Structure 1
Amino acid sequence: MNEKTAKKVARIVLGGTLIFAGISHLTFARKAFKAQVPDWVPLPIDDTVVYSGIAEIALGSSLVLTDEKHQRVVGQAAAAFFTAVFPGNISQYVNKRSAFGLDTDRKRFGRLFFQPALIYWALSSTDNT
């Protein structure tokens, strides 16, 4: 597999994952996602989960459907989103909130290192240089 094809596959897999996550925000995993909303967010918790789910569906769809000309911008938007929601992962760890099988401090702490990987994935899979 050449590099261009590998990036396309990575971008589509990330997009599909975001679409699935966004749908889960709105349906079966809504309660679990509430565990990640920091206490300082000024919106109602459920609204925050819904809005972030909608954003994930939009970003995921954009990653899957965007043309080559706009991929880099979409990747940057996805990376910015992953950065923006990172405080939720920190909040889940600090407040010892169990969700998604993250039921120990060690698991919640380990999850923190996955966010930089998502940021890298979004940027590298959409970089056409």
Structure 2
Amino acid sequence: MALRGAARLVLGGALVFAGISHLTFARRDFRAQVPETVVELAPLDEDGIVLASGVVEIALGTAIAIAPAGIRPLVGTAAAAFFGAVFPGNIAQWLHHRDAFGLDTDERRFGRLFFQPVLIAWALWSTRPPSR
């Protein structure tokens, strides 16, 4: 399997795993990332937002892994948009000094912010056909 295809499957699997963790064992940690402004604007409470985002992650991860080649770029764009949409949660966790996922210092929480652009690039690159 080509590197791009393997990267796509790993990302899909990681998203499914993250989504399952939203619904089960990591719900408390994910609640630490929900910005107050989202809770104020959303029709769901904090836990509902975590559960809904978990369902979205499972759907996106599954789609990334099994989508036919013709629609993979669309799925990758949707995943990249999702990663961008949840980025404010990472910022809120850092700004409000919320411990979760072993990120128990401001330095660790700040360092995590730099991984989100990597996820966006990964989603876009792994779902595009190689340029010739």
Question: TM-score normalised by the shorter chain: which range applies?
Answer: over 0.9
Structure 2 equivalent of residue 24 of structure 1: 21
Structure 1 equivalent of residue 59 of structure 2: 58
Residue-pair matches, total: 126
> Could you say what secondary structure the match of 1:64 adopts?
helix
Structure 1 equivalent of residue 114 of structure 2: 113
Q: What TM-score, normalized by structure 1, do the two folds share?
A: 0.96
2:11 aligned with 1:14, yes or no?
yes
**How far apart are residue 127 of structure 1 and its match?**
1.0
Q: Percent identity?
A: 60
Unaligned runs of 5+ in 1: none
Structure 2 equivalent of residue 123 of structure 1: 124
What is the aligned-residue RMSD (CA, Å)?
A: 0.8
Question: Which whole-Å CA distance do the structure 1 matches of 2:90 and 2:74 have between them?
Answer: 25
2:36 aligned with 1:35, yes or no?
no
Q: What TM-score, normalized by structure 2, do the two folds share?
A: 0.94
Question: Which whole-Å CA distance do the structure 1 matches of 2:95 and 2:88 have between them?
Answer: 10
Unaligned runs of 5+ in 2: none
> Could you say what secondary structure the match of 2:70 adopts?
coil
Question: Which whole-Å CA distance do the structure 1 matches of 2:118 and 2:98 have between them?
Answer: 22
Q: Which amino acid aligns with 2:6?
A: V
Structure 1 equivalent of residue 90 of structure 2: 89
Question: Which whole-Å CA distance do the structure 2 matches of 1:95 and 1:39 have between them?
Answer: 10
